[in-house]
Amino acid sequence: MKKKSRFAAFPENKELVVCLHIFIVNYKHIRALYGCQCCTEILEFIQSNIFIFGFSFLSIGQDEMVISLRSRNTEVKLLAEALLLFFSTNNFFGRYLPIMPVLSISEVVSSSVDAGSLTSIQSKSASFPTRLKPPQLTSKWRAAYEAEMNFCQRLVTALEKGGCSLNLQPVYDMSGGIFYSEALLRFSDNLCKIDTQKAIDAFERTGQIRLVDRYVVNAVIGRLKSDSMAVIACNISALSFNLDFWWESALKDLKKYPAVANRLVVELTEGAIIEDQAAFLKFAKALKALGVRFALDDFGAGMPRAAAINGFIFDYIKLDKGVIRDLRRDSIKFQMILNLVAYLKNVGAQVVAEGIEDEGDVFIAKELGCSYMQGYHLGYPSSKNNISIKTISQNEYNAFGLCV
């Protein structure tokens, strides 16, 4: 007669048949972006590596598999943790940016050599990259995840069909001339009005911001090629500061057209925290070597991004609009901000005052010694002469083994 129980119910030296049920939680979203072949490759990769741990197969499906191993009770948890660690730290999954696989791994045991009837006793999850806290796969989490991924997927579809564009807002020098224009993403959806910041936040939480950033950069580079006088800044999330295949075509363009690189400004947005300082510096320095300039957006907004300016000098530091607003009410802080601007200029950065809403703000920006200004008083983001976003070509994906 078979005996099934939890780990604790077995003597430590008791031999068990241990099975792991591996399931791709976000299978349908990976399939929607990359195609079924991607999911197949993920499972094939797992299949080709589990033998390292001594597992064998019981079954394999479209988005899941069951593997088994005969082991002693004392080794079961160690093996499960080792398997999780192996897959959560393997660079293979980096090919499938921006959506990472989320694996749910259920541990299953039986005291019989026959594993035909099994009892699931515990579930774990591995979310990639591992520096992000793995999700608790509760029904509430799953519902929220599905809703947010569906929302992002709808926006990506709209983007790929030309339903999004980049509106340009001017950044002025103190003499009143336009220094450069900032390209701001705007979504157009027939179903409802889309809050841009809400969309960006959702893209960052699901990892799809990297896809959006690539579309934005491609579009801006295209405009810079066609307009030899334009200087344009585009916002990029900290999650995108990583030199991987996703930037291959942009890097090729910037190397081929140095005049384009010299007129591109990359703004680090305020949303995501820089998780990997080394990867950030490698990315930023590589683009800067090509002539690209960098701006740190929303400085002074309280975001925990101090590490961003450790070891890297930004060309422009943009004072958050709240800084100027506070100085309207609290002149005591003026000397402190004045000293800050002087320090930033001393280390090689030019300062842009954001949130200029009236002539009083213009006066404050000039008194602080800011080099540039931006705000609704000077010019709103304009849909005139906006930048259209084109779909990334099939060939670009195929070049890196992706199926879409």
Listed residues 104, 137, 170: the one ending a domain: 137
Cβ-based neighbour number of residue 85 at 10 Å = 12
pLDDT at 303: 53
pLDDT at 33: 67
pLDDT at 235: 93
Is 292 within a domain? yes
Give the CA distances from residue 36 to residues 54, 102, 196, 227, 364, in Å, rounded to whole numbers and listed in that order.
28, 16, 31, 40, 57
Q: Answer yes or no: do 154 and 223 share one domain.
A: yes
User: Domain containing 131 — which CATH number?
Assistant: 3.30.70.270
pLDDT along the chain (404 residues), means of 10: 37 62 76 74 79 73 76 61 66 58 66 46 38 50 77 81 87 93 83 77 82 89 95 91 78 93 91 72 90 90 54 86 83 84 89 94 94 94 85 48 39
State the chain's maximal CA–CA distance in angstroms: 89
Q: Answer yes or no: do 96 and 190 share one domain.
A: no
Is 334 within a domain? yes
| Domain around 243 | 143-392
Q: Answer yes or no: do 167 and 211 share one domain.
A: yes
Cβ-based neighbour number of residue 116 at 10 Å = 9
Q: Answer yes or no: do 62 and 194 share one domain.
A: no
pLDDT at 183: 95
Q: Answer yes or no: do 188 and 333 share one domain.
A: yes
- What is the number of structural domains in the chain? 2
User: Domain containing 214 — which CATH number?
Assistant: 3.20.20.450
Q: Answer yes or no: do 154 and 127 share one domain.
A: no
Is 294 within a domain? yes
Q: Answer yes or no: do 120 and 27 share one domain.
A: yes
**Tokens representing 403?**
């199926």
For 253, the enclosing helix (H) or strand (E) is: helix 248-256
Is 156 within a domain? yes
Listed residues 137, 162, 190: the one ending a domain: 137
For 367, the enclosing helix (H) or strand (E) is: helix 359-368
Q: Answer yes or no: do 174 and 275 share one domain.
A: yes
Q: Answer yes or no: do 121 and 43 share one domain.
A: yes
CA distance 391 to 101: 24
Q: Which candidate, 382, 326, 383, places its Cα nearest to that of 353?
A: 326
Q: Answer yes or no: do 209 and 341 share one domain.
A: yes
Q: Answer yes or no: do 121 and 155 share one domain.
A: no
Strand partners, 352: 318, 372
Read off the pTM. Answer: 0.68
Is 241 within a domain? yes
Cβ-based neighbour number of residue 228 at 10 Å = 9
Contact predicate 349/315, CB 8 Å? yes
Is 2 within a domain? no
Strand 232-236 and strand 264-268: the pairing is parallel
Is 401 within a domain? no
**Tokens representing 110?**
């039986």
| Number of helices (H), then strands (E), in the chain | 13, 14
Phi-psi domain of 155 (left: phi exceeds 0; alpha: psi -120 through 50; beta: other): alpha
Q: Answer yes or no: do 268 and 376 share one domain.
A: yes
Helices (H), 257-358: 258-261, 277-289, 321-329, 334-346
For 85, the enclosing helix (H) or strand (E) is: helix 73-88
Listed residues 82, 111, 137: the one ending a domain: 137
Helices (H), 162-241: 196-206, 209-226
Is 399 within a domain? no
Query: Which residue is listed with tokens 């049920």?
Result: 21
